[in-house]
C-alpha cells in the first residue's frame, strides 16, 4: 500500500473491503452497473427485487451531497440481468479527491461487473440540440485532465489495469449501435443524438466565453461528471456506454437573458426520464455476458 494511495482513500485493499462487504450482504452477483445522473434516479426504481444500501453504510464509500442524488446502491435484476445501480454519484466539486469519486467503479469491477451504463444531465453546446434530447456519448474531452487532474494519477496498481490505458475506444461501439437500433424501434430517433461530451470541474456553470470555446473544440454537450468514471472503468477492463440528457441549452449569446440552473436540470430529467429508462432497460435486456457481443 502506497502512502499516496492511502491518503487518497482508494487502495486496492479498501476497494476489496467494500466489495466483500457488499457481496456478503446480498445474493446478487451483478454483471451490469448503472450510474444515475441528476434527476435520473428513476432507473433504479425499475430494478426487480431491490436490495438497497446507503452509501454511508458501505465501508470506504464517499457520500453524495447533491440534491437530486439519493446516495444509495440498489441491487437486483433488470430485464433478467443481475444489476447494481448507483442512485447518485460523486463529483469533483464536492471536494473529494478524484480517486475517491471513482472508487465505486473499482468496487463494481471486484464484484464481477462487466458492463457500465452511465447517465448524466448536460448542457447542450451543439446548436442543433434541443432541451430533452438524449445524446449517446461517442467520445469525451477531459478538460481537468489537461491540468493533470486524472483519476489514474499516482502509483498504478496492476491489479486494476495497465499504467497507460487506451481511451480511443472508451465508449463501446457495439453498445452505441445497439442504442441506435433500440431507439429506432421505440420511436425515439427524433430526439436521440450522438456526440462528444466535455467534462468540467464545476460547480459553477460555464461562462459564455467558455461555452463558445468548448463548442469550437468539438464538444456537443458539457457537464460535470461521467468521464472520470469511464476512465477508471476502462482502466479496469469494463466496457462503457454513456448517455447525456440535454437538460438545458448552454448560453452562447451575450444578448441572451437565459441562465443555467440546477432546478431546470432536475425538471428536464423528470420530463424525459421515462424515455431514458425505457431505452436503457431495453438495451440491458439484449446484453450478453460476452463483452464482444450484445
Cα 259 to Cα 246: distance, rounded to the nearest angstrom: 15
Residue 269 — φ and ψ, nearest 5°? -60, -40
Q: Which of 93, 150, 264, 291 is catalytic?
A: 93
Residue 229 annotated among the catalytic residues of the structure: no
Residue 185 annotated among the catalytic residues of the structure: no
Does residue 88 contact residue 64 with C-beta atoms inside 8 Å?
yes
Q: Which of 10, 94, 114, 206 is catalytic?
A: 94
Q: Which of 224, 233, 238, 242 is catalytic?
A: 224
Residue 121 annotated among the catalytic residues of the structure: yes
Residues whose CB falls within 8 Å of the CB of residue 241, separated by 6 or more in sequence, listed in order? 115, 116, 117, 118, 136, 171, 172, 175, 176, 179, 283
Q: Which of 60, 91, 215, 228 is catalytic?
A: 91
Does residue 92 contact residue 142 with C-beta atoms inside 8 Å?
no
Does residue 287 contact residue 81 with C-beta atoms inside 8 Å?
yes
Cα 240 to Cα 229: distance, rounded to the nearest angstrom: 10
DSSP alpha helices (H): ranges in 69-133? 98-101, 103-111
Residue 248 annotated among the catalytic residues of the structure: yes
Residue 262 annotated among the catalytic residues of the structure: yes
Q: How far is CA 5 from the centre of its chain?
A: 23
Q: Which of 64, 120, 225, 250 is catalytic?
A: 225
Q: Which of 18, 55, 69, 183 is catalytic?
A: 69
Residues whose CB falls within 8 Å of the CB of residue 45, separated by 6 or more in sequence, listed in order? none
Residue 168 annotated among the catalytic residues of the structure: no
Residue 19 — φ and ψ, nearest 5°? -65, -45
Q: Which of 5, 126, 248, 250 is catalytic?
A: 248
**Beta-bridge partners for 135:** 193, 244
Residue 18 annotated among the catalytic residues of the structure: no
**Considering only CA atoms, which of 125, 124, 128, 67 is closest in space to residue 247?**
124
Exposed e or buried b per residue across 176-198, where buried means at least 16 C-beta atoms within 10 angstroms of its C-beta: bebbeebbeeeebeebbbebbbb
Residue 94 annotated among the catalytic residues of the structure: yes
Q: Which of 10, 19, 38, 273 is catalytic?
A: 38
Q: How far is CA 212 from the centre of its chain?
A: 24
Q: Which of 150, 153, 260, 262 is catalytic?
A: 262
Residue 235 annotated among the catalytic residues of the structure: no
Residue 293 annotated among the catalytic residues of the structure: no
Q: Which of 111, 121, 273, 283 is catalytic?
A: 121
Which residues have a catalytic role annotated?
A: 38, 69, 91, 93-94, 121, 224-225, 248, 262
Amino acid at each position: 500500500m502506497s502512502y499516496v494511495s492511502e491518503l487518497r482513500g482508494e487502495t486496492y485493499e479498501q476497494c476489496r473491503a467494500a466489495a466483500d462487504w457488499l457481496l456478503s450482504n446480498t445474493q446478487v452477483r451483478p454483471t451490469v452497473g448503472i450510474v444515475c445522473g441528476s434527476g435520473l434516479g428513476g432507473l433504479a426504481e425499475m430494478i426487480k427485487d431491490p436490495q438497497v444500501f446507503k452509501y454511508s453504510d458501505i465501508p470506504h464509500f464517499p457520500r453524495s451531497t447533491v440534491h437530486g442524488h439519493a446516495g444509495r446502491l440498489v441491487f437486483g435484476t433488470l430485464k433478467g440481468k443481475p444489476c447494481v445501480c448507483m442512485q447518485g454519484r460523486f463529483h469533483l466539486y464536492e471536494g473529494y479527491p478524484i480517486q475517491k469519486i471513482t472508487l465505486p467503479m473499482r468496487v463494481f469491477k471486484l464484484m464481477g461487473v462487466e458492463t457500465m451504463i452511465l447517465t448524466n444531465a448536460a448542457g447542450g453546446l451543439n446548436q442543433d440540440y434541443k432541451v430533452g434530447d438524449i445524446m449517446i456519448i461517442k467520445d469525451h474531452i477531459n478538460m481537468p485532465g489537461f491540468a493533470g487532474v486524472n483519476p489514474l494519477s499516482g502509483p498504478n496498481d496492476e491489479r486494476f489495469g495497465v499504467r497507460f490505458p487506451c481511451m480511443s475506444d472508451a465508449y463501446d461501439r457495439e453498445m452505441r449501435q445497439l442504442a441506435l437500433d433500440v431507439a429506432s424501434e421505440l420511436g425515439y430517433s427524433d430526439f436521440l443524438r450522438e456526440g462528444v461530451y466535455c467534462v468540467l470541474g464545476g460547480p459553477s456553470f460555464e461562462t459564455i466565453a467558455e461555452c463558445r470555446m468548448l463548442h469550437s473544440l468539438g464538444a456537443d454537450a458539457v457537464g460535470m461528471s461521467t468521464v472520470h468514471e469511464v476512465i477508471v472503468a476502462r482502466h479496469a477492463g469494463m466496457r462503457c456506454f454513456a448517455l447525456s440528457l440535454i437538460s438545458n441549452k448552454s448560453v452562447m449569446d451575450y444578448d441572451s437573458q437565459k441562465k443555467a440552473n440546477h432546478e431546470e436540470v432536475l425538471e428536464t430529467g423528470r420530463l424525459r426520464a421515462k424515455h431514458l429508462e425505457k431505452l436503457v432497460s431495453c438495451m440491458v435486456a439484449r446484453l450478453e455476458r460476452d463483452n464482444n457481443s450484445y
